[in-house]
Structure 1
Amino acid sequence: MPIGLIALALGGFGIGLTEFGIVGLLPEISDDFGVSESVAGYLVSGYALSVAVGAVALTAAIARYDRKKVLLGLMVLFIAGNLISALAPDYAVLMIGRIVAALCHGAFFGVGAVVAADMVAPNKRAGAIALMFGGLTVANVLGVPLGTFLGQQLGWRSTFWAITIVGVVALAGIQLLVPQTAAPADTSLRSELGAFRRPQVWISLTVSILAFGGVIGGFTYIAFTLTKVSGFADHTVPWLLVLFGAGTFVGNFVGGKAADRSLRTSMITIMALLTAVLTLFALTADSKVMTIVSLVLMGSVGLSTAPGLQVRIMKYAPDAPTMASGANIAAFNVGNALGAWLGGLALDAGFGYVSPLRVGAGLTGLGLIVLLAASFVRGERTPGDPAGSVVDAAEPAGAAS
């Protein structure tokens, strides 16, 4: 395993803390600033939309630069955003801090995915990307629950101070462990954007939006579901989030291995399972035992989609991997924002605290339909050298998946 992958995972860990660490603290932030539950949830959707903007705009701007220097610059932006959040005197400034931190997110994972894929053999790229995303899942397993616990004990601001420190450590790790890379040769914005002429690229983006919209749509308001429907005490929420995080950690690596074996089959299977899990959770949320089971399944199945979705879009855009990868990270976060927004609408409409889970199931079910329909879209033969493309070993480059 290239040691540079550890540095990328460390950066992913810090970013994962910022993205999801606030979920368990929404009740405290809501009370502190005197805003409603759905308005507090906009701190999640606002972050996600900013990630989407940064993933496309920043990735386009940095495509021709040395990737290590780009990653270092993005981590500096991340640290600044979390400092603003820690010092925020009101809701508006906290949102600004979230936006600043979010701008680096998409570009970091977009560039990082390309760097990770380039470190290993073509048939191991989904696994390498899964390892980079492993930092994100470790943040769910350990960082988010501990951040929630810290915020509940010392105030939610303490969590952002802790995340800032993690960002500084990640910055040092990237400087020390990621090898210097040459700027990509003959890269132009026009050639990068050319990938978006391919239907399969847009299909990948659509499935990413719906898959992550479904998971985050349910997860954003999970603290309210756990306490007001399942009947758990507030102080147990951080430890219940450990279960979700543990599921994401396992699911991320299992999803990577499955995608390396058969991209098409694994993605269809995972999307079908995810729809079933979200539906089950919505139907059984009043049972503590079933809630625990559903939390683990929701995390494991939900995050197992990430490596395959990232590989899928890179497969159809091997001549523009950085832009395609960044666009897919943007799609993940458009989905996050969509899911959080729709979940908030369902809450405001009075459909109850399990309604975000029902919304999530609907989104992932639609994603499954799109993925199945993609089998009827003729896949484009990927340009360039096939040996250098991210291609499912069990499928030819031109196959639709």
Structure 2
Amino acid sequence: MPLAVYVLGLGIFSMTTSEFMVSGLMPSLSAEFGVSVAAVGYLISAYAAAMVVGGPVLTVGLLRIPPKGALLILVGVFLAGQTLGALAPDYEVMMAARIITGVAASATFGVSLAICAQITGPAQRGRAASVVLGGLMVGTVLGLPAATLIDQHFGWRASFWAVDALTLATGLAVLLVIPRSLRGEAQSLRTELTAFANGRLWAAYATSALIIGAVFAVFSYFTPIFTEVSGFAPATVPLLLAGYGAATVVGNAVVGRLADRHAVPVLAAGLATVTAALAVFGLFAHDPTVTVAAVALLGLAGVSMTPAMTARVMRAGNDRPLVNTVHTSVISAGLVAGSWIGGLGIESGYGLTSPIWVGAALAAAGLVTLLPVLRRERSARPSGSARPSGAARPSGAVRPAHPADDLAARR
């Protein structure tokens, strides 16, 4: 795997740490700005909303710039936003900083995956994407607790400066390692938008949103479920979260190796696993053993499906930044919607297990979106042949590397 792929992963790690670190800094930020903890929570929502709306807009503005130059611009914008946050004198400035960093992060995801596709090719696309997106997993497992620890010893501004330093290191690594020879296809916006006329691309987007929504409907309320339903002591919660994070890292690595040739079957297996695990969890959430097993399965087969989701989207659309950035926006929208719907269940009086059932329902809906694809692949499967997982290859996309993929493209 080229070194550049790991540099891209470092950038995603920095930005994911920035996205979630506020949740670990809530008491400090609340005291600093004189606002409620709920108001601090809006800083996370603002970041996610900026990713959903602003990322694609910024990507459109960078369409005619070569990939390396576009990535350096985005790192610079993110660095400016993160620095503004570190220096923020009040809540309003911090909110502006979060919006700037959210917009830059969303576009960075898209451009990074597009660069990743160019430097590795179709045969390694899923595996390389798992390395790049592994930064997302590690950001939640390592970045968030590290930022919280820095806050406890040196203050919340030090946490922001630490991410600043990491982002600066990423920019320097991009300058040195990412090849200048990457093509910068000067496509018009109209040409870029033709990819979105493909119904299979939107079906792939829908599956991704439902997977992430299912996971975050439950993940957002892990702590109260663990302590008030399953009966774990508060001191045990960090260990359970660390175990979940470790499971996502393992699952991401495994899925990355399977995503290139078996994206749809992997997604189907993952969604079936999540649906079953959450259904059992909902029924027996009071049992600590069941809780641990369900959390591990959710980590192995939930967010870790991202490489397969990415491989499917690239095959249904293309490997250019706009398609990938919109995919990032769809994932962020699924995250926000899942958390919100899960909270509605609690607010409506259905108890702390209601987010678990919301997650199970969303995962089942995601599985339903895959049924037409699985049916098409089964009906088109030649006797005794291996089954590809990609959707139809659009005009102008990179030619698949495997004979099985060529069969999918002809279909």
TM class, shorter-length: 0.7 to 0.9
Q: Using the alignment, how far apart are the partners of 1:185 and 1:359 within structure 2?
A: 42
CA gap of 1:185–1:195, structure 2 versus 1, over 3 A, is same
CA gap of 1:241–1:298, structure 2 versus 1, over 3 A, is same
2:259–2:308 contact (8 Å) kept in structure 1: yes
1:176 aligns with 2:188: no
Q: Specify the alignment match of 2:36 in structure 1.
A: 35
Asked which structure has the greater CA Rg, the reply is 2
Q: CA RMSD in A?
A: 2.9
Q: Using the alignment, how far apart are the partners of 1:151 and 1:283 within structure 2?
A: 38
1:396 aligns with 2:401: no
Q: Specify the alignment match of 1:22 in structure 2.
A: 22
2:315–2:393 contact (8 Å) kept in structure 1: no
Q: Deviations over 1:268-299 (max 9, x none)?
A: 11111122233334444434443333333222
**Bigger mean CA deviation after superposition, 233-242 or 184-193:** 233-242
Q: Specify the alignment match of 1:341 in structure 2.
A: 340
1:213 aligns with 2:213: yes
Aligned residues: 397
Deviation at 1:390, TM superposition (A): 9.9
CA gap of 1:383–1:390, structure 2 versus 1, over 3 A, is farther
2:208–2:331 contact (8 Å) kept in structure 1: yes
- Residue type of the partner of 2:36? V
2:134–2:252 contact (8 Å) kept in structure 1: yes
CA gap of 1:385–1:176, structure 2 versus 1, over 3 A, is closer
1:248–1:302 contact (8 Å) kept in structure 2: yes
SS in 1 for 2:226: helix
Q: Specify the alignment match of 2:224 in structure 1.
A: 224
SS in 1 for 2:409: coil
1:144–1:238 contact (8 Å) kept in structure 2: no
Q: Deviations over 1:316-340 (max 9, x none)?
A: 223x622211111111111111112
Q: Specify the alignment match of 2:325 in structure 1.
A: 326
- Residue type of the partner of 1:387? R
Q: Specify the alignment match of 1:50 in structure 2.
A: 50
CA gap of 1:7–1:385, structure 2 versus 1, over 3 A, is closer
CA gap of 1:211–1:173, structure 2 versus 1, over 3 A, is same
**Bigger mean CA deviation after superposition, 76-85 or 253-262:** 76-85
Q: Using the alignment, how far apart are the partners of 1:31 and 1:153 within structure 2?
A: 16
Deviation at 1:204, TM superposition (A): 0.9
CA gap of 1:53–1:212, structure 2 versus 1, over 3 A, is same
Q: Specify the alignment match of 1:351 in structure 2.
A: 350
1:140 aligns with 2:140: yes
Q: Deviations over 1:76-135 (max 9, x none)?
A: 222233334444455554433322211112211111111111112422111011111112
Find the partner of 1:387 among 374, 399, 402.
399
SS in 2 for 1:262: helix
2:271–2:363 contact (8 Å) kept in structure 1: yes
1:200–1:374 contact (8 Å) kept in structure 2: no
Q: Specify the alignment match of 1:109 in structure 2.
A: 109
**Bigger mean CA deviation after superposition, 131-140 or 238-247:** 238-247
Q: Deviations over 1:195-242 (max 9, x none)?
A: 111110110111111111111222223333334444445454444322
Q: Specify the alignment match of 2:368 in structure 1.
A: 369
2:26–2:37 contact (8 Å) kept in structure 1: no
Q: Using the alignment, how far apart are the partners of 1:286 and 1:164 within structure 2?
A: 42
Deviation at 1:315, TM superposition (A): 0.5
Q: Using the alignment, how far apart are the partners of 1:323 and 1:98 within structure 2?
A: 22
1:244–1:295 contact (8 Å) kept in structure 2: yes
For structure 1, the 5+ residue unaligned runs are none
Q: Deviations over 1:51-78 (max 9, x none)?
A: 1123311121112211112112212222
1:60 aligns with 2:72: no
For structure 2, the 5+ residue unaligned runs are 378-390
CA gap of 1:137–1:343, structure 2 versus 1, over 3 A, is same
2:65–2:186 contact (8 Å) kept in structure 1: no
Q: Specify the alignment match of 1:3 in structure 2.
A: 3
Give % identity: 35
- Residue type of the partner of 1:146? A
Q: Using the alignment, how far apart are the partners of 1:229 and 1:390 within structure 2?
A: 49
- Residue type of the partner of 2:334? G
Q: Using the alignment, how far apart are the partners of 2:41 and 2:229 within structure 1?
A: 18
- Residue type of the partner of 2:365? L
Deviation at 1:253, TM superposition (A): 1.5
CA gap of 1:288–1:160, structure 2 versus 1, over 3 A, is farther
CA gap of 1:262–1:329, structure 2 versus 1, over 3 A, is same
Q: Deviations over 1:110-165 (max 9, x none)?
A: 11111111112422111011111112222223222333344456555543333222
SS in 1 for 2:351: coil
Q: Using the alignment, how far apart are the partners of 1:333 and 1:395 within structure 2?
A: 33
1:125–1:390 contact (8 Å) kept in structure 2: no
Q: Specify the alignment match of 1:199 in structure 2.
A: 199
Deviation at 1:5, TM superposition (A): 0.8
CA gap of 1:46–1:387, structure 2 versus 1, over 3 A, is same
SS in 2 for 1:64: coil
CA gap of 1:234–1:302, structure 2 versus 1, over 3 A, is same
Q: Using the alignment, how far apart are the partners of 1:43 and 1:3 within structure 2?
A: 34
TM-score with structure 1 length normalisation? 0.87
CA gap of 1:86–1:186, structure 2 versus 1, over 3 A, is closer
CA gap of 1:77–1:40, structure 2 versus 1, over 3 A, is same
TM-score with structure 2 length normalisation? 0.85
Q: Using the alignment, how far apart are the partners of 2:227 and 2:398 within structure 1?
A: 52
- Structure 2 counterparts to residues 63-78 of structure 1, below 5 A: 63-78=63-78
